[in-house]
Amino acid sequence: MKIQMFIYPGMTLLDLVGPLQAWSVWPGTDIQLVAQSSGPIPTDCGLSVLATHDMASAWSDPDILFVPGGTDGTFALLDNDEVLDFLADQGHRAGWITSVCTGSIVLGAAGLLSGYKATSHWMAKDMLPGFGVEVADGRWVIDRNRASGGGVTAGIDFGLALIAHITGSEETARRVQLVLEYAPNPPFSSGTPDEAKPETVTAVTEYFNSQGVEARAELMAKAVGRYQHLFNT
């Protein structure tokens, strides 16, 4: 099972590490960490991840293509034709096209989610329809050979669910879960807008909206235009 995980500056580390840790325990897998250039790639929490391959040396036919999400770093990809063209090309040959968090926005911009159900971070779901995506709720969503996870921590759930789905063996995923001792027991019920207090939702929403919202809107508009152009040619 050739798993190709595309990484980039400013991505959210846990978006990557959640499924990566689960899949690294999945028997029979080989994983590439691919970036525009090989070497250390800084994430949004300051810790860098080593890209094992650049785009030129990456597998051309991965079984699983995966893109993590983030904030500013992710939106910057929407103006990066080299990356979007690479992902679009890889996606035509990949067995599975997958993401966590706002990685689905990047896949949408590459034209890879049109006509599919997908999810994203709760703050970004309303951006998906611009790329022809049918928004779905859930910690993970699987639609044919597309799989997407919700925000950040959902990557572990997503990773385990995809193992079970692809292998047809829930037991395989259960063993991986036990290896990880994944038994979440958060101290608060504040992990979704439905669970959180209204004032918490308001504060977090205002925080996201204060972080370069105008620049992101411009990048989204450009990416949607690019997506539509792909399907008009």
Beta bridge partners of 35: 54
CA 53 from centre of chain? 19
Instruction: Give the HSE-up count for residue 125: Cα atoms under 13 Å, Cβ half-sphere.
Output: 19
Catalytic member of 101, 107, 152, 160? 101
d(CA 77, CA 69): 10
Token pair for 205:
């929403």
Q: Are 68 and 5 in contact (CB under 8 A)?
A: yes
Annotated active-site residue 101? The verdict is yes
Residues 6+ apart with CB under 8 A from 106: 67, 69, 74, 77, 78, 83, 84, 87, 99
Token pair for 184:
């979440």
Burial group, residue 209, by CB count within 10 angstroms (0-12, 13-18, 19+): exposed
101-125 residues labelled b (16+ CB within 10 A) or e (exposed): bbbbbbbbbbbbbeebbbbbbbbbb
Enzyme catalytic residues: 101
